[in-house]
Amino acid sequence: GCLRPVMAAVPPPSAPGGPEPPPPPLQYSLLLQHLVGEQRRPRAWDPAALGGIPSPPKSEEQKMVERAMESCAFKAALACVGGFVLGGAFGVFTAGIDTNVGFDPKDPYRTPTAKEVLKDMGQRGISYAKNFAIVGAMFSCTECVVESYRGKSDWKNSVISGCITGGAIGFRAGLKAGVIGCGGFAAFSAAIDYYLR
């Protein structure tokens, strides 16, 4: 038998006024990008769209409370209280693992009483609590002011406020200590901000 030439079926070019060719099939990887990938758009939660009860308009008192809670003074006070509690817990914890708590340097061989140990633990807890409260309030207030001035909320705010806070604390011991405190606190703030974000 003779071989018949087989020609590939090539679709005829579409006429200028004819129907356009069908769109290419949707790729699965592109679909995943829009469903769970970086191009996914978060849906806004709207209870009214699901038949829920729409929230009533906010009163002036509610708006005033929200403004107060978003103010730098409130954030600084909150950080101060949180730093006091955290510092107190940290101070008591470090005192609990310190073997020199309660010992009298004049008589190191005497065994301290439970009352003396608890007194030293309380003093160390209060000291740590005050330091943590001051640093927390300074950092929070500085970060809030920097964020308000820049109009952005990013990692640079933490670095700038960390440098200002560490420098202010370190400058009491001199210029070199202030520079070291600025750099160290800025690096620590950047690391914490990176970890949290």
Q: 17: which residues sit within 8 A by CB, 6+ positions away?
A: none
- pLDDT confidence band for 63 (50 / 70 / 90): confident
Q: What is the chain's alpha carbon radius of gyration, rounded to the nearest angstrom?
A: 32
pLDDT of residue 171 exceeding 50: yes
Choose among 159, 103, 99, 94: nearest CA to 131.
Answer: 94
- pLDDT confidence band for 43 (50 / 70 / 90): low
Residue with tokens 């693992």: 97
The whole-angstrom separation of Cα 178 and Cα 181 is 5
pLDDT digit string, tens, across residues 74-85: 888 999 999 999
The whole-angstrom separation of Cα 165 and Cα 188 is 12
DSSP code at position 104: B
Are 103 and 112 contacting, i.e. CB atoms less than 8 angstroms apart?
yes
The stretch 45-67 carries a mean pLDDT of 64
What percent of the chain shows pLDDT beyond 90? 24
Q: What's the first-to-final CA gap in the chain, in angstroms?
A: 74
Are 87 and 131 contacting, i.e. CB atoms less than 8 angstroms apart?
yes
Helix (H, G, I), strand (E, B) or coil at 4: coil
The whole-angstrom separation of Cα 152 and Cα 158 is 11
The stretch 152-176 carries a mean pLDDT of 87
- Read off the pTM: 0.58
Helix (H, G, I), strand (E, B) or coil at 88: helix
The least confident of 2-6, 12-16, 28-32, 153-157 is 2-6
Cβ burial 146-164 (10 Å sphere, 16+ → b, else e): bbeeeeeeeeebbbbbbbb
Report residue 7 as tokens: 């020609």
